[in-house]
Structure 1
């Protein structure tokens, strides 16, 4: 865990609308190391408490684990800060405006009841429904022979399925959102993961092809190649390094919506499996076809 990851974890814990559950030091260390690039995923099931984050830092310092890294955006891929203070992936900065504040307190988007949200995550309304539908669509593409696990989770363990819609930033005068759905997949005693995350136009503005887009995911790829699908679109197919997703595909739609579809043999979040899957759930052909599928093209209003 480095200083930036600690700062993000600590801020997330303080900003949480619900008091976070207790978490063991071992779990806190795991969560802390991935706090930046997997904030959405972990926050959906078990937020890291302030005490746990501090304990994780103490463990990391004792083990020489602190280092330096470029600051990362909360809940989105990392990159270069814009004039408005919000980092975006490399390339042309998004036209963003600061999130409104009143007396130093953030004013979140309005809920269906007319009141502001308590934090970034929607808990009702159109955006919430889009996040839930994303999970339905993800479960529909789980390949035969694999089981989408359905464990609700506990104070110590993240639930096996997660879905959410999260406000990211203002793009011009528009609220821009991201959406996430993730499920653990089981087969023959192994537990892996399948995840899709979608960013509305203006949030990921990296210049270049879809391999450049793939590099704007939560973690830098070890390698990437462009793949043309049977429908004639070209997507980026990336592989990760140890401790990250094994493989993901990236696609930017013509309207600027960006979709990442990721998979891994071993689900390493707290509560994940101790035994990896024998193979990745989706073939490369299926993964690259699905990332550009219209079912994952959320058209934010």
Structure 2
């Protein structure tokens, strides 16, 4: 990795956070790692680049001190697989972010107002509406040391067919019997993921490797969904579905959210049954339309 590639990767990691990651070491390093891995779904990058960015964030945290805005990043750790091929800009290029509500380019990838922002917020509203009975959607705002228990985000990824393409994410911690887990939905507009093949191929494009395998499940509506399992300390289970227009939806759940601000005790069981996960990932509420 040359110096320019390093700067681009580090910038992408920092751009992902909304607001920027706090300076608390445990939280900031986790946020940086997750941001980089999530970006690898839609942008090419060497495996060594991920390591370098995480190390750079760790060094920056160690030398900068504590403080900063509350962390709002709720995305899970992502796999290091690469599902897109977006070349890094040349040293003379300067990426221009999409235009914000003030008519000026955004300051980073994340929308903080406007239609895209509203779509991300609505995704969280819809996610909270499907929290299963017996579980509580926790509502802790977070601090500079702890992640918030709820989050939503709309993020510009790259150009697809000459148009801005976005991803959306919403997550909430779930509590029951003293345990703290997490439920998350993330949506990618058409063209962002190179996830050809059946629904299990789509599921394998998620952040977390399907270390415990994947199987095809048919919903009551006759749609085929890929349901994969982790087992490596990240998300325990997730479902994946690719809509006819190319939009890809992942719905993930875990019994233990052990990030700073999470918990030390796991939920007694996964919040959703296998059929429940399959039904929700195809739900039109989570089919965010490109616009």
Q: How would you bin the TM-score normalised by the shorter chain?
A: 0.7 to 0.9
Residue of structure 1 in register with 2:49 after alignment: none
Residue of structure 1 in register with 2:265 after alignment: 275
Task: Give a deviation string over 1:83-128, Cα, whole Å, max 9, x none.
Answer: x417xxxxxxxxxxx7xx9964321000121011000000111100
**Alignment partner of 2:87 out of 67, 85, 88:** 85
Task: Answer whether contact 1:22 1:52 (CA < 8 A) is retained.
Answer: no
Say which SS state the counterpart of residue 299 (structure 1) adopts: coil
Task: Let me know the Cα RMSD of the aligned residues.
Answer: 3.3
Deviation, 1:31, is: 4.2
Task: Answer whether contact 1:147 1:185 (CA < 8 A) is retained.
Answer: yes
Deviation, 1:54, is: 1.3
**Which whole-Å CA distance do the structure 1 matches of 2:97 and 2:79 have between them?**
17
**Which whole-Å CA distance do the structure 1 matches of 2:6 and 2:34 have between them?**
8
Residue of structure 1 in register with 2:205 after alignment: 216
Residue of structure 1 in register with 2:238 after alignment: 248
| TM-score when normalising by structure 1 | 0.77
Unaligned runs of 5+ in 2: 41-52, 64-77
Residue of structure 1 in register with 2:179 after alignment: 190
| TM-score when normalising by structure 2 | 0.79
Task: Answer whether contact 2:100 2:114 (CA < 8 A) is retained.
Answer: yes
Cα distance 1:261–1:80, how it changes in 2: closer, same or farther (>3 A)? closer
| Worse-superposed segment, 12-21 or 102-111 | 12-21
**Which whole-Å CA distance do the structure 2 matches of 1:110 and 1:239 have between them?**
39
Say which SS state the counterpart of residue 185 (structure 1) adopts: strand
Cα distance 1:85–1:160, how it changes in 2: closer, same or farther (>3 A)? same
Map 1:137-148; keep pairs closer than 5 Å. 137-148=126-137
Residue of structure 1 in register with 2:48 after alignment: none
Q: How many residues align?
A: 260
